[in-house]
Chains A and B, each alone.
Chain A
């Protein structure tokens, strides 16, 4: 579950994020064809769910490796002049 924010009115918002872990997502995530959302036998779902979680765990690990150090300082120093 995604941590719920304390700010009122955000519960529904967090809800849509949680939906990303739904079974339909798991099917699509492991498939190369984007439009293939056909139902998969329920028995396969938990296995696919685990695969999805593992993929996401690996992705988050990689993010931590590439993320700039001293995030707070880095973001503070990123100042642009307006353009266009």
Chain B
């Protein structure tokens, strides 16, 4: 199955982004309506500058499957008025919108892991500002609360999705086979932790992942039912002949900056190795769905899961296999990417500690940070796992309010390892990344917002008053950078100038 060429670093630049669906409630509102509250939130961010423009659904194909077929399920495109209400495109290049019954934030396209965590964290701050605005519009005594987690503890899960731009030439099956054992085992350093189990899984007091109980198949197009470990949605939001976008739906939303860094950084390295043919003989799990759950249910990280070749490996063994390959890869190609050597070093550091005693990572990894807090709380308060305060802490760890969220309490107390400067997060709420097409989108929103008609990831269209709508296609995510377009933007006073300057 791996008959493609093996050579030097051939992989295309890995543009990436994340989508976070937030949990939501309104305190003291017995008739809480999640859709109405999500709409209120999305329309409360920077309300006076709120842009009246459309999300351009023409370019979307969520029913196309990477394995080569297309579903003919109906896919509802909202009318203009609804479209403008549920979609906000922000000057930092992000999309903030209502997805089903949740507010969702998609980061702009990023070129590296550090930018990704900066924009994901900016998203939390943007949600919180929206919350403060929306609270002014609801009856006194009620408060909107937003959680960056993935489960309501009652069998309902909402997603956190990573997106990685890959080379269309790499066969999907090659990616899926080699990425699957990595995704199943990586939760030991990127789980967000959860009290109890759900969805029919056997009872445990605490488990590593928020999401593991909800995955039921190995591969497929679904995201809401029968969730697959490998999602096959083939909607590149870019030149379809050149790229695919791997849509990774299995991850937990993380509060910890370091955990997010490791989750995304390691995925980038592994995907690049796969594209460069550096993992010719993949590991194969005998039962990936079962392994996912068994690993999540064992916070000692000692459970060994069966492999197809008859052996058994722990999640740490599997991760070490990938990590050793990564060490060889960066040894052989030291210029592969500026961020990779540090990612690989941190990855090794974390695997060593997971092997000797996972609790050593109580400043680094979300599930350990939460477990450490809960066990210390139980010890001091003489309570146990069935104490309702423990379930409350499990939820409140993910509260995005700086004054109430328990993650933020830890962060303030110096008990969370950080990767970012606060001013860089604040700056990222308004300014787009400079080295992807998000720069062009964001700068157009800043400069020509009154003349923008619609936006999608790979296009932006202008209403110039006379004549048809002018749509500019942006099928190449690595173009439209500051380097490419700053001069063009500088010499275009109006959107009409811009369009004329692009066409000529």
Contacts and interface: CB of A to CB of B under 8 A. Distances in A.
Given A59-B373, A66-B406, A77-B25, 17 more contacts: A3-B382, A16-B357, A17-B359, A19-B359, A20-B360, A20-B372, A29-B415, A34-B417, A56-B376, A60-B380, A62-B409, A63-B377, A67-B393, A71-B392, A72-B391, A83-B157, A84-B158
Contacts, number: 146
A84 to B, nearest CB: 4
Interface of A: 1-3, 5, 7, 10, 12-13, 16-17, 19-20, 22, 24-25, 28-29, 34-35, 55-60, 62-63, 66-68, 71-72, 74-75, 77-84
Contact of B156 (A28, A35, A57, A79): A79
Contact of A84 (B23, B34, B159, B392): B159
A63 B357 contact: no
A80 B101 contact: yes
Contacts of A75: 153, 388, 391-392, 395
* A-B pairs with lowest CB-CB distance, top 4: A83-B158, A71-B392, A72-B388, A84-B159
A25 B360 contact: yes
Contacts of A77: 25
A84 B156 CA distance: 11
A2 B101 CA distance: 40
Interface of B: 21, 23-25, 34, 99-102, 104, 152-154, 156-159, 161, 205, 223-224, 249, 299-300, 349, 357-360, 362-364, 371-373, 375-382, 384-385, 388-389, 391-393, 395-396, 403-404, 406, 409-410, 413, 415, 417
10 contacts: A13-B300, A20-B357, A62-B409, A63-B409, A75-B391, A79-B154, A80-B24, A80-B34, A80-B152, A81-B102
Given A5-B205, A68-B392, A75-B395, A81 B413 contact: no
Contact of A5 (B100, B300, B385, B413): B385
Of A20, A56, A59, A84, chain B has the most CB atoms within 10 Å of the CB of A84
Of A20, A34, A72, A77, chain B has the most CB atoms within 10 Å of the CB of A20
Contact of B359 (A5, A25, A83): A25
A17 B378 CA distance: 12
A39 to B, nearest CB: 15
B265 to A, nearest CB: 16
Nearest to B401: A66
B141 to A, nearest CB: 14
B421 to A, nearest CB: 15
